[in-house]
Amino acid sequence: MNDSLLDLLRRVDTPTVCNAIEVAQGKRGFNRFTRGTMQASAAQGPAMVGYARTARIRAVAPPQEAPEDVRARRMGYYRHMSEGPRPGIAVVQDMDVPNAIGAYWGEINTNVHKAFGLSGALTDGVMRDLGDLPDGFPVVAGSVGPSHGFVHVVDYGTPVDIFGMAVADGDLVHADRHGALVIPTDVIAVLEDAIGQLFAAERIVLDAVRDRQISFADFEEIWSAFERSRT
């Protein structure tokens, strides 16, 4: 991913990227995106873009391993998050979903992950401390709650599932207040052009209908031009 594409992806929303992937693939049916409604800690902020650093957690019940094993796994997790390609996003599955109660993403953990150079966090689990999260580190989560429960790391660097979206460690992820998606590797080289093509096609309709009244005959002509631009 070059700097030009990275800058563009940070400026467009996730629905735009979803549509542009279909433009790049030349067909509908792209489905590597989250299902359901998610919560965004910085709903008005830019999208987060980065390579996934994956992990899984639990929090409803305390871990059953020896304390030294739990700590060793957590330190291994933090080492994993501190390494890898940048920009990076922490992508953490809460295995207690749909009964998740442990807010792994609060003031402390978000600041730690930001200090590692990560660009944000994506989880189907819980976040908290909404007024105290650091600027420049958005969290897109499944819910908001007050407690960390018995939160502990189960594993890291393994495939995860976030609201129906499969994510492997190293996948390129785009996320904002709408949810998240995984950008297929085979479209990365052409995605910038696809976004430009998408915007040009949309302008045919938007420039013709925004803030004005049209007839059905006008619409037929506009829509015909729109369809021609997409073929």
Looking at residue 159, which CATH number applies to its domain? 3.50.30.40
Instruction: Output the pLDDT for position 227.
Output: 84
Instruction: Output the pLDDT for position 116.
Output: 98
Instruction: Output the pLDDT for position 119.
Output: 97
Range of the domain at 116: 31-183
Please give the C-alpha separations between residue 176 and each of 18, 133, 138, 213, in angstroms, as whole numbers: 12, 16, 8, 33
Give domain status of residue 7, yes or no. Answer: no
Same domain? 98 vs 203: no
Same domain? 140 vs 175: yes
Give domain status of residue 89, yes or no. Answer: yes
Please give the C-alpha separations between residue 62 and each of 24, 59, 151, in angstroms, as whole numbers: 46, 7, 7
Instruction: Output the pLDDT for position 1.
Output: 84
Same domain? 96 vs 200: no
Give domain status of residue 19, yes or no. Answer: no
**Could you give the number of structural domains in the chain?**
2
Give domain status of residue 67, yes or no. Answer: yes
Instruction: Output the pLDDT for position 192.
Output: 96
Same domain? 92 vs 121: yes
Q: Which residues of the chain have pLDDT under 70?
A: 231
Residue type, 71: R
